[in-house]
Amino acid sequence: MPRYRIIVEYNGLQYVGFQRQENGPSIQASLERAVEALSGEEVTVFAAGRTDAGVHALAQVCHFDLKRPFLEDTIRDGLNYHLKPRPISVLAAQEAAPEFHARFDAIGRAYVYRISNRRAKLALDQGRCWHVPVPLDEKAMHEAAQRLVGEHDFTSFRAKECQADSPIKTMDRLEVVRLGEEIRVLAAARSFLHHQVRNIVGTLRLVGEGKWTAGDVTRALHARDRKVAGPTAPPEGLYLTEVRY
């Protein structure tokens, strides 16, 4: 029974998230229907990260098993044919080792959060980044972000409904850079808590506006209380960019 590993790009705006749910369309269900249309087999598609409603991916990694082998190009092209016109694209497909698991074998994940920092409303990027019209100091945001790098108890940046066993995570990288009118928050870790990146971005916005200092971010972290940290940034600015194995 061959196992296939695929890299998937998607716009999550119209989906309830990656994971299959009863309350609306999901990336997982769309992929599973495409695999069934191609192969005639019902499968379960597993992903490296179960992105939330409205969150996008540039390189989500998934796997599934089939009873009979297919050429790798046939997997990629066939799935893309059956995914039309959905905003989901299989970038690559390859046969994987039988023991490979997209989620449990991953040793690192990276996200980027895009903030459009301009007065004018969004046209082309509507639904693809967070529009913040007030000026933001990205250097102050970056300085404050360094307070969160390393191993910490991230309870203050964890969603109430998070199902992780522990709030302790190690943030390997958290950078804030400006590219013209766009600010990007780059985050990398082995794994993340539910809404962790979005809660951090919402907090860093307070720093960028001059309402908080880096010291305030440290105090919020040490408080281990979600109510003490900043608001949750909207999902449309968040992209899963890389999964490492």
Known catalytic residues?
52
| Angle between helix 196-208 and helix 214-223 axes, rounded to 10 deg | 150
Handedness of CA 31, 32, 35, 37 (dihedral sign): negative
Q: Where are the beta strands (DSSP E) in 101-218?
A: 108-116, 130-131, 150-153, 168-179, 182-189
Decide: 220 and 179 in contact? Cβ < 8 Å: no
Decide: 32 and 21 in contact? Cβ < 8 Å: no
CA proximity to 171, closest of 146, 195, 140:
146
What is the C-alpha to C-alpha distance for residues 140 and 209, in angstroms, rounded to an integer?
A: 9
What is the C-alpha to C-alpha distance for residues 131 and 120, in angstroms, rounded to an integer?
A: 9
